[in-house]
Amino acid sequence: MTQTMEQTETPTRSHEPIEKVSIVISKGSLEGIYPGLIMANGARMEGIEANVFFTFFGLDAITRGKQAKVKVATVGNPGLHMPTLAGAIPGVSALVTKKFASEMEKIDIPPIPEFIEMISDSGGALYGCQATVDMFGLDLEDFVPQVDEVITVGEFYEKSAGGQIIFT
Amino acid sequence: MSTVTYAGTPVEVDSEGFLEDPAQWNEEIAAQIAAENGVGELNERHWMVVNYMRESFLENGEAPSIRTLGKASGVQIKELYELFPKGPAKLAAKVAGIPKPRGCI
């Protein structure tokens, strides 16, 4: 019995500290964008290298004129515990977003434009997704100046080499 | 908790090397912590951050966020990371002899 146990035992893994993360932000709602930004900034705070790749509606977080207009999704969002029809009333999404923003400000979480600047200033790299940019007919000029490059998915994997990838 | 000797003074530190009692801190201790944690020799800019960190903690009972540090310490975020590449809030707190900041921002 002891012998069998020894044979099936998994090898001990060393718990090396994380040195690099590449975070994908794919959603365009406030609650879809913030977790990735908080994780990227948190990585830099720990001295961990951080890349952020914005794809699909996640691109709104770095798009001029759109980044300050990101809202909480009040329809189809069971986490809010709000009747779907109430969430659909004009102005409700803006109101809920305002409430979130003031709560976040209290705990020192910045608005999206400032957060993007913070991550860039702290050495995090910001990338737009080539496929989405092509699909929406955008180019690098449509993004805030903190965006380093528009890259393909292949380039994203190259840049992620040696680190962890987190999809949000 | 364990006791280590910095600059000839025995001080209590937690498992990550943060001082348990900010009152045990002095500038020589700060210099040694900085040297041992990859910060190197402390210059005037480092001191601005470290002093702000310490004063803010002694006043409010908690360490400032990196956002506040960038806005109020007199050193902006970009430079904070140049001064403390392995994490400005965490390292400045350690050098300042205050507990590790627990905020997510």
Contact (Cβ atoms closer than 8 angstroms) between residue B102 and residue A143? no
If you compute the radius of gyration of chain B from its CA atoms, what whole number of angstroms results? 13
pLDDT block averages, 10 residues each, chain A of length 168: 54 82 97 97 96 98 95 93 92 95 94 97 97 96 97 98 97
Gap between the Cα atoms of A144 and A59, Å rounded: 11
For residue B105, give how far its alpha carbon lies from the nearest alpha carbon of chain A (Å).
6
Domains annotated on chain A, with CATH: 19-70+111-167 (3.40.1260.10)
**pLDDT, tens digit, for every residue of A18-57?**
999 999 999 999 999 999 999 999 999 999 999 999 999 9
Gap between the Cα atoms of A119 and A124, Å rounded: 5
pLDDT band of residue B23 (cuts 50, 70, 90) is very high
CA torsion angle B86 B91 B95 B97 (round to 10): -160
Domain boundaries, chain B: 2-95
From the DSSP assignment, how many helices (H) and strands (E) are in chain B?
5, 2
* Chain B interface disruption, residue of A19, A38, A45, most B CBs within 10 A: A45
Which chain B residues touch A47 with a CB distance below 8 Å?
85-87, 90
CATH superfamily of B2-95: DsrC protein, C-terminal domain (1.10.10.370)
B45 in reach of chain A (CB within 8 A): no
ipTM: 0.92
Provide the annotated active-site residues of B.
104
pLDDT band of residue B7 (cuts 50, 70, 90) is confident
